[in-house]
Amino acid sequence: MDHAGFDLPAMTRATRLASICALAVVTAGLLFLFGCSSTGRHYQVPRDEFERLARLPMGSALDSRFIGATEHRAYLAVWSAMPSSAGGGDHVYSVALDELPPEIAQRIRSGENPWPKQ
């Protein structure tokens, strides 16, 4: 019986149950897609932010590593221990080589990592 005191037809109950299940599946799917789409994003950042990230100390909750360069950009991978739904996981950050100080840009162009981790 429903709250009004009369029986709902079986089809209405089945429809209601199917609607609730469909809503739960769609919600779970959207949450999964949101979580997956936040991992691995590429961010183009200004020099100051790139250098701040490159100098992050090795830690248990946040870490960065220099992954290389192309002719015009330098790249870092930054890992965060936060859940992927909150923006955690691996992300790639890049900066134009021309924005970096000349000595750092030259080291990168020669294949050296200017921010080695201890």
pLDDT reported for residue 54 = 94
Confidence of residue 76 (pLDDT cuts 50, 70, 90): very high
Q: Domain boundaries in the chain?
A: 42-109
pLDDT reported for residue 49 = 96
| Whether the Cβ atoms of residue 50 and residue 66 lie closer than 8 Å to each other | no
Measured CA to CA, the distance from residue 42 to residue 23 in angstroms comes to 32
Reference 72, options 93, 51, 95; nearest CA is 95
Query: For 36-72, what is each residue's pLDDT tens digit?
Result: 444 568 999 999 999 999 998 887 788 899 999 999 9
> What are the angstrom distances between the C-alpha of 88 and each of 35, 36, 54, 59, 105?
9, 10, 17, 14, 29
Measured CA to CA, the distance from residue 93 to residue 88 in angstroms comes to 14
Global pTM reads: 0.63
Q: What is the DSSP letter of 115?
A: S
Please give the span between the terminal C-alpha atoms of the chain, in angstroms, as a whole number. Answer: 68
Measured CA to CA, the distance from residue 93 to residue 66 in angstroms comes to 10
